[in-house]
Structure 1
Amino acid sequence: MDVLWRGVDSRGESLEHLRLGASRARGTVIGRAGAGVFTLGYVVEIDPDGHPRLTTLRVVDGPTLQLRRSWDGGWSDDHGRPLPELTGCTDVDIQATPFTNTLPLRRLNLPVGAGAVVLAAWVGVPELGVRAVPQRYTRLAEHTYRYENLESGYAVEITVDAQGLVTRYPGAFERVGPGQQS
Structure 2
Amino acid sequence: MAHRLLSWAGIGDPQRIENASIELHGESMRAIGGACAEAFTTNWELEVADGWQTRALHVTVRGFGWSRSLDLTRAPTGDWCAAVARHGEIDLPEPGLDDPGTVAGAIDCDLALCPVTNTMPIRRLRLLDRDVADTHLVMAWVEIPSLRVLRSDQVYASAAPEGKRRVKYTSFSRNVSTHLTVDADGLVIDYPELARRLRPEPAH
CA–CA separation in structure 1 for the residues paired with 2:106 and 2:124: 14
Q: What is the identity percentage for the equivalent residue pairs of Structure 1 and Structure 2?
A: 29
The unaligned stretches of length 5 or more in structure 2 are: 85-96
In angstroms, what is the RMSD of aligned CA positions? 2.0
Are 1:90 and 2:93 an aligned pair?
no
Quick one: which of 10, 14, 19 aligns to 1:7? 10
Residue 31 (structure 2) aligns with: 25
85-94 or 149-158: which moved more? Answer: 149-158
Are 1:126 and 2:129 an aligned pair?
no
Q: Is the partner of 1:49 in helix, strand or coil?
A: coil
Structure 1 residue runs of 4 or more that deviate by more than 6 Å after TM superposition:
none
Indicate the structure whose relative CO is greater, using CA pairs within 8 Å and at least 6 residues apart.
1
Quick one: which of 74, 87, 96 aligns to 1:69? 74
- Partner letter of residue 11 of structure 2? V
Q: Aligned runs of 1:43-82 on 2, under 5 Å?
A: 43-60=45-62, 61-78=66-83
Are 1:135 and 2:154 an aligned pair?
yes
Is 2:178–2:192's contact at 8 Å kept on the other side of the alignment? yes
TM-score, length-normalised on structure 2? 0.78
CA–CA separation in structure 2 for the residues paired with 1:132 and 1:160: 25
Larger radius of gyration, structure 1 or 2? 2
The unaligned stretches of length 5 or more in structure 1 are: none
Quick one: which of 113, 119, 126 aligns to 1:109? 126
Matched pairs, number: 173
Quick one: which of 152, 172, 176 aligns to 2:198? 176
Is 2:113–2:194's contact at 8 Å kept on the other side of the alignment? no
